[in-house]
Structure 1
Amino acid sequence: MELINLTNGIVIAEKVVPAYSFFKRLKGLMFTSSFPEGYAIHLQPCRSIHTYFMKYEIDVLYLNDQYEIIAAESYVRPGEFGKHHKGTTSVIEIPAGIIHKTKIQPGQTVQIKNLKERVS
């Protein structure tokens, strides 16, 4: 699965890890030692995140049902809670710095290519 910004055509991540079960969303990136560039994790359903038990910063995209970016947070540090944004139905976590590098802005739309499992 590939994460693409449909608004500007930029590939955000070549590998998207789905986290669609309760336990996969709960674990997320906890206890991992790194988050390589080119990877993303898609949490659905999900309205907000936390970075407890993580060792590195991440960028976070908050999406609505149409995969439009409602909000984006850069460099969320370990041990923090993400913000709540009205209308969020899923969240994508990406390595820190990718929002700036790929020119992500609220209002843009993303697509997960070859998404086989989508929670409605």
Structure 2
Amino acid sequence: MQVVHHPADATGVASTADDATAGRVLAADAETADSFLAQARGLMFRRSVPEGYALVFPFEEVGSRDLHMVFVPFAIDALWLVDGEVRERKRLRPWLGIGVGEADTVIELPAGAADGVEAGDRIELRE
């Protein structure tokens, strides 16, 4: 799965092109944390993640979602989405970072991968 960024225009509306080549690929190799254990573990105990990687946390409904960096020895970019729209973006520091946001999907990326992504932009998950 790919994670693709569609920036909002000057009016605040994100592009949603039907063209499969539109948008900027943030991650070409996204893994889904779709079990309770996978969501609880997240990126803990990994030494690093490769460029082009993302971990996607899908939830059944919108709610307050928090992330912590305990046992994660590298910085990450985190995106909180509601219906594909970015609500919050934050860079989390190794070991001590904490982030909270309303979301039905959370995406963790290597630090720097989400540079340029802002609230109101759209994120598409492509198979």
TM-score, scaled to structure 2: 0.79
Bigger fraction of residues in strand: 2
The residue identity in structure 2 corresponding to 1:50 is H
- Matched position secondary structure for 1:17: strand
Pair 1:90-2:105 in alignment = yes
- 1:51 aligned to 2:64? no
> 2:5 matched to which residue of 1?
5
Shift of the alpha carbon at 1:75? 4.1
Q: What runs of 5+ residues in structure 1 fail to find an aligned partner?
A: 115-120
Aligned to 2:97: 80
Q: Distance in 2 between matches of 1:14 and 1:20?
A: 18
Matched, 1:14 2:28: yes
**Counterparts of 1:94 and 1:25, CA distance in 2:** 15
Unaligned runs of 5+ in 2: 8-14, 16-22
Deviation at 1:38, TM superposition (A): 0.2
State how far apart, in whole Å, the 2-side matches of 1:89 and 1:48 are. 12
* Identical pairs, percent: 30
Q: Which amino acid aligns with 1:69?
A: V
Q: Report SS of the residue matched to 2:37.
A: helix
Q: What letter is aligned with 1:34?
A: S
In 1, Cα distance between the equivalents of 2:71 and 2:94? 11
Of 99, 104, 111, 2:117 maps to 104
| Distance of 2:126 and 2:45 partners within structure 1 | 28
Deviates more, 1:10-19 or 1:68-77: 68-77
Please report how far the alpha carbon of residue 76 of structure 1 lies from its aligned counterpart in structure 2 after TM superposition: 3.1
How many correspondences in the alignment? 109
Q: Cα RMSD over matched residues?
A: 1.5
Query: 1:42 matched to which residue of 2?
Result: 56
